[in-house]
Each structure stands twice: as structure tokens, then as C-alpha cells.
Amino acid sequence: MEKNWDIIIVGGGPAGLAAAIYCGRSLRKTLVLEKQVFGGQIVSADIIENYPGFAEPIVPAELMDQMSKQALRYGVVLENDEVSGVHYENNSWRVDVYNNYFTAKAIIFAAGSTHRFFNVRGEKELLGRGISVCATCDAPFFLNREVAVLGGGDTALAEALHLAKFASVVHVIHRRDQLRAEKILQDRVFKNAKIKLLWDMEVLGFKGDQKLEAIELKNKKTGAVEVMAFAGAFLAIGTVPNTELIKDLVDLDANGYVVTDISLSTQARGLFVAGEVIKGNRRQVSISVGMGVQAALNCEEYLVSLE
């Protein structure tokens, strides 16, 4: 496989693929490296209803498949590999992968984010044994069972609405006394007879032998601790940015997000960022797509300046 590239894009989610389309159309030799599946986390979602340009709901996996094909059409190479290092040496960027490396004149870092966990007892042991991060993947396991969704944002409510098609009761358990999700999702949840809301709850731990049996909760207002039985628990409490690989190259805020501006450039010359690694990103496919485009155009301007 070709070793030297004009641009290497780290991450094949919405930001990375949108950037790839523009890099390809600039006739740059472009490689996209994705450690899991092309399309990113959004492919696990049931539907997207707010991506501009589509009057009807769309299937995220189909949208992302079209983006991949669009990038391939312009000569971009999509490769499944996990990046283990990003360095600048000998006037070029070096990207390490398992048993190999590539070089590039510029990098667009769009590695996205991963699910946030509570880091409480029982969570790690029961992940995949009743604790899940993907309702569309795992809802059928909980047919006519009682499940919990932990979180109060868009993802949590979308997961709850999907689960309500399968489970007997869905409890949305939130640490605050109000939701931050889109109002249209809140309205649907409040109107769904199978969904109940539990406010001001802190998760203390998960219990179960071989599979999840209960969640230990503490009411933040009364201090009362309660163990509630659930067959499934779906975590939707946000994400953490995948910026470990560039933490010594760029400015990160206290939560690990890259601090940048509309240029999407960084202190490291030739290293651009896009998508959910950036501070202030509101986790929407349309925003990540726009950022990918912006990063690609600015990256192209940078490459022209080198010539």
C-alpha cells in the first residue's frame, strides 16, 4: 500500500468523510484511517430526522454509506486501521498504525469521541451483559422487560423512544430535574405511556451475577438510596473526545477537547481538526460535516502555500 500521502484523515465519521470528499476533489492523495466502522458512532442510531435536505427521516448507516462512496468516487482511500501515534518529523507528518506507518504533508484529525461511562462498580463487568450503549443494536434482547436509559440529552431520549417499541417499561433516569434534549423529543417522551422519568438520580453502581439485575441509585435531593431491578441499562451520558494521540501537539481544555477557532487549524503546522474532538461541538452530524468541509478547505489552502 502507498506509504506517502498528501493528506491523512484520522477518523472516518461524518467529519472525516466530509473532509475526504473535499480533499479528493482537490485532487490530493488522501487516506482515511478508521479504527472501527466507517460512518462513526451515528451508524448505531435508529434514524436522523434533522439532517437538512431530507424531508423524511433517514437511516444514518445509509447516509454514511453514501458519504463513503462519494469519497471513494474522488479517489480517496478508506482503510480500517487503528492509529497509535501522530508525530511531526523530518518535515512531514508520520502516522503510526498496527505494524506499519504512513506519512503525509498534512493531517485532518477527526477521531471523534467515545461513550462516557460512570466508572462505578459493576459497570465494566456487566457491559455487554445487560449494560449497553446502543439501543438499536440491543433492544430486541429486552422484549417485554423493564429497562433504564441513563441520561437526559438527545441520545438518551432517542434511545428511550426506540426501546419503548420493545420493552414493557422504559425508565429515563436523569441526574437533573430537567431534560436538555430537543423539545420535540421531550414532547414525544412525555406522551409515551411506556416511558417514565426519574429525576435527580445519581448512579452508585450496577448489580448482577453474569447479567445485569439492578441499579443502585441515590436521590440527590433526599439522599435516599434505592436498588431498582432492571433487565437492561442503556448509557447515554455523553462522550469523551478521542484526543489522546494529539494531546502533546495542541491546546486541550480541561475535558480533553481541542481549543481552536473557525480556521480549525492548531498550533502544530499542518494539523487540522474537525468534528467532536473540538470544544463546543454540539454533537450533530450536520455540524461535523460542516467542520470536515471547513478543515479540508483550510488544509488545501495550507498545502497550496507549501508549493
Helices of type H across the chain:
14-25, 60-73, 123-126, 135-138, 154-163, 183-191, 285-306
Helix (H, G, I), strand (E, B) or coil at 171: strand
With CB under 8 A as the contact rule, the residue among 13, 14, 20, 34 that binds another protein is 34
Contact window for another protein (CB under 8 A) among 21-29, 138-146, 235-243, 262-270: 138-146
Q: Is residue 82 close enough to count as binding another protein by CB under 8 A?
A: yes
What does the per-residue mask of binding to another protein show for 221-240, with x meaning CB under 8 A? Answer: -----------x--------
Catalytic option among 46, 81, 134, 299: 134
260 binds another protein (CB under 8 A): no
Q: Which of 138, 154, 159, 300 binds another protein (CB under 8 A)?
A: 138
Q: Which stretch binds another protein (CB under 8 A): 1-9, 210-218, 239-247, 257-265?
A: 210-218
**Which residues, other chains included, contact 231 with Cβ-Cβ below 8 Å and sequence gap of 6+?**
130, 142, 145, 146, 147, 212
Any contact of residue 199 with another protein (CB under 8 A)?
Answer: no
Assess 259 for contact with another protein (CB under 8 A).
no
Toward another protein, which CB reaches closer, 78 or 252?
78
- Which CB atom, from 46 or from 300, has the smaller least distance to another protein? 46
299 is known as an active-site residue: no
Q: Under 8 Å CB-to-CB from 250, ≥6 apart: which residues?
A: 243, 258, 259, 260, 266, 267, 268, 271, 273
Cell of 146: 423493564
Catalytic residue among 137, 177, 187, 248: 137
- The Cα 223–Cα 305 span in angstroms is 61
Does position 123 bind another protein by CB under 8 A?
A: no
Cβ contacts of residue 107 below 8 Å, gap of 6+? Answer: 7, 8, 9, 10, 86, 93, 95, 270, 271, 272
Using CB under 8 A as the binding rule, the residues of this chain from 285 to 304 that contact another protein are: none
CB of 160 to another protein, least distance (A): 16
User: Distances from the Cα of 294 to the Cαs of 24, 157, 203, 273, in angstroms?
Assistant: 14, 30, 39, 10
Contact between 103 and another protein per CB under 8 A: no
Catalytic residue among 23, 46, 81, 138: 138
Total interface residues for another protein by CB under 8 A: 32
- According to DSSP, the residues that pair with 126 across neighbouring strands are none
Interface residues with another protein (CB under 8 A) are 34-39, 43-44, 59-61, 80-82, 98, 127-130, 132-134, 136-141, 210-212, 232
